[in-house]
């Protein structure tokens, strides 16, 4: 894949007196039969987050609210209705990052929790309170049963795994299981090894990668990012994808002396590809360049598509949404008027990517995407 096979969209908002914005996405394959449902849930998530921003919530609270809405939908591969693993169980990954404090919270391979992002957010909040008893460092990343138990002890209600599976996820699991059983009955050999590899690529292709993520800037100019995923279909139990890994699933960092722009990033796609390239952090760093559009193109090309860490891969699957903003002051005869320059860009190598966005000034959310390989 080359740069001309990446879809891009750039939005520019300039000279706003207040600037809460919410952007969210999911990359992978979105069937046309479910396009309407995808768009509706994206709009609801945008509205929920913007309502929180209008009420004075910080970016990290709003981004968590957006993810909860996406996790609750049976049409996304996050929370309810997530992909099932080889054992027929749901294990989810999620992470969240606050650009103001630079704190991060994450859970991996967690079962029995309807909204994994709430556990990640609670980890972030607890870490901000400082050390535990006897000077212990509070955790920022928990996995498996330990993550589940920690969540329950901190007031997050459990949800039986069987209630998290939907007719869509169960049907996909049964279909994938039959394919695997059929492959195992076939003769072994070089040709069979090749067939199994191709089958694995198809089952772990872009049809199973619809991770969800969101990025936000609040009225104070703080940024936050979050991501949540049920992981690859038929994954090995205990597998943790990019949605939980630091610098891979999401990144948020307010502007400082060294960085003139605040940035927030969320990724989606094949977790193993995104982990090995730390794409979220790489894209955030690239956004400090003057030309954001060109910087994202180069980051996707050199840090992901042509990355030496992915040289052995036939297909490189991923998508990213990026927000960058800065405070602006324009001199006026009577007073200084402070506003914001906000840029939103997105890029993907997957078959499609659904993107929703909304500002506090918008009456309703806008949703775009479902494109197949072509530039926008």
User: In the CATH hierarchy, which fold is given to the domain comprising 8-165+207-369?
Assistant: 3.60.20
Looking at residue 27, its pLDDT comes to 54
Domain extents in the chain: 8-165+207-369
pLDDT tens per residue across span 274-307: 999 999 999 999 999 999 999 999 999 999 999 9
96-116 average pLDDT score: 98
Is residue 28 over pLDDT 80? no
pLDDT tens digits along 127-180? 999 999 999 999 999 999 999 999 999 999 999 988 999 999 999 999 999 998
Pick 331 or 1 by higher pLDDT. 331
pLDDT at 146: 98
Of 101-110, 243-252, 355-364, where does mean pLDDT reach its minimum? Answer: 355-364
Catalytic residue among 211, 263, 267, 349: 211
Residue 207 pLDDT > 50: no
Question: Which whole number is the average pLDDT over 348-375?
Answer: 76
> In the chain, what percentage of residues exceed pLDDT 90?
66
Q: What's the per-residue H, E or C state across the chain?
A: CCHHHCEEEEEEEECCCCCCEEEEEEEECCCHHHHHHHHHHHHHHHHHHHHHHHCCCCHHHHHHHHHHHHHHCCCCCCCCCCCCCCCCCCCEEEEEEECCCCCEEEEEEECCCCCHHHHHHHHHHHHCCCCCHHHCCCCCEEEHHHHHHHHHHCCCCCCCHHHHCCHHHHHHHHHHHHHHHHHHHCCCCHHHHHHHHHHHHHHCCHHHCCEEEEEEECCCCCEEEEEEECCCCCCCCCCCCHHHCCCCCEEEECCCCCCCCEEEEEEEECHHHHHHHCHHHHHHHHCCCCCHHHHHHHHHHHHHHCCHHHCCCCCCCEEEEEEEEEEEEEECCCCEEEEEEEEEEEEECCCEEEEEEEECCCCCCEEEECCCCCCC
Q: What is the mean pLDDT of residues 45-50?
A: 94
Q: Is the pLDDT of residue 48 over 50?
A: yes
| Residue % of the chain over a pLDDT of 70 | 81
Q: Is the pLDDT of residue 3 over 60?
A: no
Q: Write down the pTM of the prediction.
A: 0.89
* Model pLDDT for residues 68-95, shown as the tens digit of each residue: 999 999 989 999 999 999 999 999 999 9
Tell me what the pLDDT averaged over the chain comes to: 85
- In the residue annotation, 211 being an active-site residue is answered as yes
Q: What per-residue confidence (pLDDT) applies to 9?
A: 45
């Amino acid at each position: 894949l080359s740069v001309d096979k990446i879809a891009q969209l750039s939005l520019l908002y300039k000279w706003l007196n207040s600037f809460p914005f919410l952007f969210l996405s999911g990359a992978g394959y979105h069937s046309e039969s479910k396009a309407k449902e995808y768009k509706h849930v994206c709009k609801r998530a945008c509205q929920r987050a913007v309502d929180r921003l209008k009420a004075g919530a910080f970016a990290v609270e709003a981004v968590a609210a957006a993810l909860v809405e996406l996790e609750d939908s049976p049409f996304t591969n996050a929370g309810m209705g997530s992909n099932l693993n080889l054992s027929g169980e749901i294990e989810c990954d999620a992470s969240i990052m606050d650009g103001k404090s630079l704190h991060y919270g994450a859970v991996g391979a967690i079962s029995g929790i309807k909204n994994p992002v709430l556990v990640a957010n609670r980890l972030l909040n607890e870490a901000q309170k400082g050390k535990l008893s006897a000077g212990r460092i509070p955790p920022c990343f928990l996995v498996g049963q330990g993550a589940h138990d920690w969540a329950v002890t901190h007031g997050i209600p459990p949800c039986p795994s069987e209630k998290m599976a939907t007719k869509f996820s169960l049907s996909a699991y049964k279909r994938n299981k039959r394919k695997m059983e059929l492959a195992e009955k076939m003769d072994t050999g070089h040709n069979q090894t090749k067939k199994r590899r191709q089958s694995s690529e198809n089952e772990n292709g872009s049809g199973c990668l619809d991770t969800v993520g969101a990025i936000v800037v609040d009225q104070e100019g703080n940024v936050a990012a979050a991501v949540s995923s049920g992981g690859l279909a038929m994954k090995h139990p205990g597998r943790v994808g990019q949605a939980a890994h630091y610098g891979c699933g999401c990144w948020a960092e307010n502007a400082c002396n060294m960085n003139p722009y605040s940035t927030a990033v969320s990724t989606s796609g094949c977790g193993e590809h995104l982990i090995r390239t730390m794409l979220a952090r790489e894209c955030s760093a690239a956004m400090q360049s003057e030309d954001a559009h060109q910087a994202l193109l180069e980051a996707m090309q050199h840090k992901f598509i042509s990355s030496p860490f992915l040289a052995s891969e036939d297909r490189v699957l991923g998508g990213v949404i990026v927000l960058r903003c800065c405070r602006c002051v324009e001199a006026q005869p009577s007073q200084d008027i402070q506003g914001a320059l906000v840029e939103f860009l997105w890029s993907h190598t997957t078959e499609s990517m659904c993107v929703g966005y909304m500002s506090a000034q918008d009456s309703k959310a806008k949703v775009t995407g479902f494109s197949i390989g072509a530039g926008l």
